[in-house]
Amino acid sequence: MRLDYLSIFPAYFDVLDISLVGKAAINGLVEIHAHDLRDWTHDRHRTVDDTPCGGGAGMVMKPDPWGEAFDEIIGTESDPSVHVIFPAPSGTPFTQSAAAELSSAQRIVFCCGRYEGIDHRVIDYARSMWTVHEVSLGDYVLNGGEVAALAITEAVVRLVPGFMGNPESLAEESFSAGQDGLLEYPLFTRPVSWRGLDVPEVLMSGHHGRIASWRRDESVRLTRERRPDLTDSDSSGIH
Ligand code: ADE
């Protein structure tokens, strides 16, 4: 899998070197390329923004540098196997199933906007050429797409076959199919007693049936309490 990042702050992606994603890059599982969008400007100030057409506050990212960057990084041919991601609060909510789908992509290009956003023709152009995803990380506003791109990267790359040492741990975590659409149950390890707090007795009983049923009850309780929206869906394990 090849990952490209287009940003006016490409140093954000230096942290990938110290993450497990960086290890996956060393092992040849992924290839990482961070680009400075200003490399495709031609004026003395390396300008990437301009005032919004129609007026309003803030600045909008100009289309020209994006277009030239696309030509050089992706090319000028249409190819639906190239996935281009625009993180934005106005995007579709990013989910575990979206991460799973992207984990089989050969090529993902992250376009990280700043200021009020990117000229919409950039997104329309990309959509006419490649597979575009406008993605939101949640109902809050970040200063730009970089942190969202890092989060999406981590969610996707850990699902790339060969990334996880023990793929069984993928099956049991929150939001995966193995959890029945429920949140993960609480975890404990030794010591059995710590600062007056004990590991639930059932987990030390060695009784697999009772342990499984305790974990399931805890998952249901937590999901009802914290994410009632998940219990409404047909795919939830609460009926
Ligand atoms: N850029 C700014 N805010 C964002 C959000 N909530 N999700 C994704 N990208 C963003």
Q: State which of 140, 141, 143, 152 you would mutate to test the pocket of ligand 1, scoring each by most atoms of that ligand within 8 A of its C-beta.
A: 141
Cα(147)–Cα(153) distance, integer angstroms:
10
> Which atom of ligand 1 is the closest one to the Cα of 87?
9
Show binding-site residues for S-adenosyl-L-methionine.
113, 137-142
Cα(221)–Cα(213) distance, integer angstroms:
12
Residue 99 CB contacts under 8 Å (≥ 6 apart), including other chains = 152, 155, 156, 159
Q: Is the peptide bond before 167 cis (omega within 30 degrees of 0)?
A: no
Tokens of 104: 């089989």
ipTM over 0.95: yes
Q: State which of 61, 133, 136 you would mutate to test the pocket of ligand 1, scoring each by most atoms of that ligand within 8 A of its C-beta.
A: 136
DSSP 85: E
Instruction: List the pLDDT tens digit at each of the 239 positions of the chain.
Output: 999 999 999 999 999 999 999 999 999 999 999 999 999 999 999 999 999 999 999 999 999 999 999 999 999 999 999 999 999 999 999 999 999 999 999 999 999 999 899 999 999 999 999 999 999 999 999 999 999 999 999 999 999 999 988 777 777 677 765 678 999 999 999 999 999 999 999 999 999 999 999 999 999 999 999 999 998 766 666 76
pTM over 0.80: yes
Q: Which helix (H) or strand (E) is 204 found in, with range? A: none
> Ligand 1 centroid vs 2 CA: distance in angstroms?
22
What is 137-170 written as a DSSP string?
SSSS--SSSHHHHHHHHHHHHTTSTTS-SSTHHH
